Every structure is written in C-alpha cells, then in structure tokens.
Structure 1
Amino acid sequence: MFQFRRVFFVLGLGLLLTACSDSPKEDFIDRMDKEHQGDAPVENAAQNLSQSTEVTGEEVQYATVNGQEITGYLAKSDKGTALPGIIVIHEWWGLNDNIRMMTDKLAGEGYTALAVDLYKGKVAESPDSAGTFARSVNDDEAVDNLTQAYGFLMEKEGANNIGVIGWCFGGAWSLQTALTHPDKIDATVIYYGRLVTDTEQLKKLQMPVLGIFGEEDEGIPVEQVKEFESALNEVDVENNIHIYEGADHAFANPSGTRYNKQVAEDAWDKTIRFFEDNLK
C-alpha cells in the first residue's frame, strides 16, 4: 500500500514543483551561488549546540531511487523506542559530517532522526561543486527519495509523529515534503529555503510551520518571507516566522563569514521547542 502511495505522491509533486515555485530552480541556485561565494564546509554548525541525551548513529539504506540504493544517516535517542521521527534534509553541501552532527543533536532531544541524501553519495567541498550537485538533482527522484524516508521512519522505525527540517537547499525541500504529505507531516521547519507563496498550494498544509530567516539574506529576500507569512495566515496555517535582524543567509552554519553564533543558538532553541510542542 505504501508503495502505491509513494508513486502517487511522486507524480503529484513533480507537477507541483513545476507549477507553484515562485522562482525557477535555476534562478534559486544562481542566487545561492552568489550567497555562498567564498564559503567552505570546514567547521561543524552543531559543535556548540547542546542535547539532552546520548544517541546512537549508523549509516542505513532507507530508499531505492531509480534502481540506486540510497544511504542516509540514522540517529536514535537512548530514551526509548517508537519515538517521534524527524526527516533531516542537508543544505547544498550535501550529507556531510556537519549534517550528521545536527542529526545527532536532534535525536538527542528524544527523536529518531534520519538525514537523507539527495546527492546520492556526493559531498561538496566548494561552492562550485555544491552548485553543480544542486543543479543535478532530479525533482521527481528527490520527491521519491523523501517519500521513502517518510515510509522508513513510519514503518521500519515505528515513529508515532514525523517532522521535517532543512537548511538552504534543504529548507526548500522541507517545505516541498510538507506539501507532498500535507496530512502526514506533523511539523515543518524551514531554514532560509526557497518558498512558495501560492495560497492554493499552501492551504493544503495541515501542520504548523516554523520559518527561520535572516534580514540580510539576498537569496531569500525579506519581502518574499513576509509574503509567505501573509499567505500562510490567509489560509489559516499555523506558523511562526522569524526574521533575524542583521543575519545573512547561512547564518546557522559557521563554515563562512555569515555565521552568527548568537542568532544560530536562538534559532536552535526555537527549533527544539517547536518540535517538542508539535511532535511529542
């Protein structure tokens, strides 16, 4: 039965991505190229973030997309079994050690967290390669990947509620995952990702949305964030949208000059409280 649902969602969201994105994929990635010039994933964004419990982590095969096995990183809290699940979507660098540690930190708050891999094993070490990898992602395959991640957490890990979180490239896919599974995803967190402001699409959402953005982010302009917030309010989707004064794109990742420690830690606290309120 889940296989049938997965095919249905893949076909449906393939059309959705084409129809309702406010800016074309190429334009978004072009803007990310500009925002990330000079950056490199050299440090770990989670190194100063606390967690409540110890976790166990392992590489797992959670999906098969177009005949290729997909490996992600699964972290589990030591608090018990059948915990709420979180789909973790990497930023445009790929599934690197930074994302694995962020996944550990989330799991350490009492979750089963699965970091997906939309780049099929590739990890970027420069903005040029990151842009190349992001452009190579097939939308239908990414939807299939994420839908199988949902099924893995629900069916194999026994997750009783499931949320999704992503940063940058992953922030856009966090929203798209929610639009794919509007009656199944229980909480959505978007860190400075590409947005949808079409109320006809957004009114499908049945879960609360937390949005984290930077005032100085030229890739995701404040005007678009406010339009997104207004559209959510118009269709009565519960939301908390935060625009941090003085913060730029990628402020939650210290692998570049835009990292803002104080803002990143405040955003993390909001993220943990949001998941606590809506998944437990």
Structure 2
Amino acid sequence: MKTDRSQRWRERREMFVPGDAEFDPSVHSVDAIDCWALAKPFVEQHHYSGSFPASRFSAGLFRNGPGGTSSLVGVCTFAQPSNNRSVAKTANLAHHTHAVDLGRLVLLDDVGCNGETFLVSRALRLLRQHKPEVVSVISYADPIKRRVLGSGFIHGGHIGRIYQIMDALYLGRASARTLDIMPNGLVFSPRALSKLRAGETGSEYALRQLLSAGADEMRADEDAEAWVQRLRARGFFTRIRHPGTHKYLFPLTRSAKIAAVPLVKYDYPQADLTQPYDVTALEIMRHAA
C-alpha cells in the first residue's frame, strides 16, 4: 500500500515527498548501526528536535553507490521509554525492558515515497535479532503543528499513517498535558526543568536548550528556578494545551500479541492537514469487539 505523501527531513527542516516519488529497494539496504557513532549525529543534524533519545538499538537505511560505496540516508532508533510505567500501561507487559519506544524515524528528502516501510519493517526484524528480550514497540504520533516564532512550521503534525499501513494497534491518545514551547518551536519539558532545578545529570543539556532558543543568560543572583520564572514572566515560553499524542503498538511475538488482547483498541484516526493546530480530522472511535 502506498501513501499519498511521506514525511522527510534535512538539516532540521520538515518536508514531504509526493506519492509518485518512487523508492527503489534494489539500491537500498538496512543494517544495524552504532547508536552513538552513526545514529546520534545523523538524527541531531536532521530531525527538527535536534535531539537523540536514550537509544537501545538503531538501524540505518543505506543507499548503495558505485564501487561498493554507500551513504546513510535514514535512521530508525528504538529508545528506552521515558516512563517505565508506560510499558505496563501501553503494552501490558510486566517488565520495562520488554518494550521500547520508536524514538526517532528520520529519512532524508531524497528518499522516495514508502522508504519508511522498507526501513521500519527491517529495523523491527533486526531489533528482535539484536535485542531478543524486546517483544513490543510503542510509537507515538504528534498531531500538533509547531511554528518557529516569526517563521514557518518546524513540525507540521501527523497522525501516524505509516504505523497504520504497517497494521500497528491503535490505542487512542496519550494523556493531555500543558507544554512550554520555546521561540524555536521546541518543547521545554517538565523533566528538563526538573533536572535544571536539581542540577541533575542532563541539566547542562537543558541549559543549552534554553540558551540556543534565545534565552537571556542566568544572572549571578539567580538560581535555575528564578531564571525560568523570569523567562516565563517575560513571555519567553508559549504555553499550549496538548490534547495528547496518538499511541500505536507493534507486538513482535505471539506472547506480546496475547498480552495486547485486553488493551482497548480504537479505529485509526484520519488527518486533515488544513487544520491550524491539531491535524486529527475525526474523533477516535472504539473498535467493535
């Protein structure tokens, strides 16, 4: 099955290729790659977030060239869920190591339509080979458009059509939440704020996030809490109410499929990309039993 358009990235800019942009599987291959030496630099260079998750396994899409050469044109990385409790809630599995999040899926803009199904299907098989304890993959699709202040969209929103094509289970929306959006269109997460306040591991990254988005330097008489409150008071953050990302599940084994049976499933959401905020077109409906 072909999609009518496919999301692509280059230098942290989102773009789409039309459905008639053919993907040639004969000149592409997928292989396991080092998360930190290859996947991380590629994702940070091209994905709009500029960030790389706590990855447990990564697969790369390679385009084969003349003389036995190849170039990396896509990455699919599987990450440790940010909240271990989501494994029990979303995949109905007892141990948090038995599931991963599909943390990043990034293909360059010169990869033809449907290259993502080629990459993801093979990445899932490689994941099982290299991480046999992982039996389910959780994936999220963010339908909310994000705009860089005074510029265009950094993220146009999507409803997870690629996961639908691959017959993933659709489990409805994640919890609604309020987000702090920086002027560059990126989220400053509550976890990043907590790390900054406590000076935990990762606080330096949170600091760089704010500064790279245009925040004033922290004053000598300020701690992290006072600094963030000052930024908030002057309107550095835009607070939005996020209705929740769309949740999908790929059970990879028979036991994982059995574990997923009691989960509540819903009909796939549809998209309306003309919507100004949430590109979800229709309210989700519970699957008939």
TM-score normalised to structure 2 length: 0.32
Is the radius of gyration larger for structure 1 or structure 2? Answer: 2
Identify, as 1 or 2, the structure richer in strand. Answer: 2
**TM-score (norm: length of structure 1):** 0.32
Which has a greater percent of helix?
Answer: 1
